[in-house]
Amino acid sequence: MSIRSLACIAVLAVGMAGSPALASGIAQGAALDLRVPQLIAKYRFAGTGIAVIRGGTVAWSGYYGEQAPGVRAGKNTMFNGASLATTITAETCLRLAAEGRISLDEPIWRFYVHPDLAADARYKLLTPRIILSHRTGLLNWPYAYKDGKLAFVATPGKRFGYSGIGYEILGRFLEKKLGTNFELLVRKTLFEPLSLKNIAVGLHPWMNPYVTTPMDASGKYETSYRTDAPPDPDRPTRAWSAADDLFTTAEDYARLLAGVMRDDGLTPEVAKARRTIYSPFAGDPDWECSASLTPSCPTEYGFGLGWMVFKYKTGSVITNGGNDSGENALAYFSPEHPGDGVVVFVNGGGIDSVRAELDIIDMIDPAQKLTAFYRQLIAHHSAATKK
């Protein structure tokens, strides 16, 4: 299993079998106050922000540990959600499609052509729907190619393959077609209608007092995300990204998730498309559900449009998240229990930070099913890396 496969799997670290368990989750705040500091010490991460949504509103939030050396995490802390940024791009596209400003099935090439792919006729097959469901036929990022240049490894639309650069291409397409900077488009289309102020797909000086300083898997702080921090070639650029480095408070992302639950700004057709599985995981060895976990295995699972969909006999889970070297994040809700969801941001990297997320979710929502499934995937990856 590749590192990117692991990162993609981290997106689905949790799920809900039944939201009624969340009713007791809010009453467990005292237990979290006791237990989370212990997890910080055990798993060596800097801090975490947690938000529980009930009835469509943020019913409880908690903040533990640090956002930076000597700075306590709190309500205003802006965590890096890593690949959770893809949900922002997806929700922006879905709203634009519902407004008739773009079509989910229009060709990307008519407005934007990536120079590496200009000579390949398969580029004409790319559409927003194909990109949002990770069926581009591209690898994750240019660094995954030996020469650093993009090339198709599969025909677009044929099979699943997580691709961050595909989302970046989609962002450029939106800019060219609509004549608007991507970050401004996201703010006007998505953030402002939901009254979200502490969330951004790019870094700005006003965020400096609030952004986290990432902590790596060994428990050491990395280079700060502050715009006045010394440049670091190993950290991402500070320009907008359609697929990585979403900066947000836990509560603002929870408010966004509540809007997703309500299908705000969408037509029924577009809302249904979000929940449709276009890229099934069945048969993919990186996503195999062990026979020993049959009771926790979904009947169907895969990527919809910007979100992963897990279907069970008793209901379904909509989830996404992300991780990088110094941050982990996840969010989920169940359409069968509208108005209820959970958001967890961890300022820390590595598998142990993912384990911490799982432990936190178990305390909030013990009825969920995917925790056992995900721990199996962690064990599978750990065994593979030792060979």
Instruction: Write the DSSP symbol of residue 153.
Output: S
Q: What is residue 29's predicted lDDT score, i.e. its pLDDT?
A: 75
Q: What is residue 248's predicted lDDT score, i.e. its pLDDT?
A: 98
Which residues neighbour 6 within 8 Å (Cβ) at sequence distance 6 or greater?
351, 381
CB count in 10 Å sphere of residue 152:
18
Q: What is residue 233's predicted lDDT score, i.e. its pLDDT?
A: 64
Q: What is residue 230's predicted lDDT score, i.e. its pLDDT?
A: 77
Residue 377: phi and psi, rounded to 5, are: -65, -40
> Residue 252: enclosing H or E segment and its boundaries?
helix 250-261
Assign 3-class secondary structure to 333-378: ECCCCCCCEEEEEEECCCHHHHHHHHHHHHHHCCCCCHHHHHHHHH
Token reading at 236: 């991402």
Distance CA 307, CA 328 (A): 17
Distance CA 331, CA 257 (A): 8
At the topology level, CATH places domain 3-83+199-386 in Beta-lactamase (3.40.710)
**What are the average pLDDT values for consecutive 10-residue runs of the chain, which has 387 residues?**
38 38 56 94 97 92 97 98 97 98 98 98 98 98 97 97 97 98 96 97 93 95 88 66 96 97 97 96 81 79 95 89 91 85 95 93 83 78 63
- Judge whether 367 and 17 are in contact, CB under 8 Å: yes
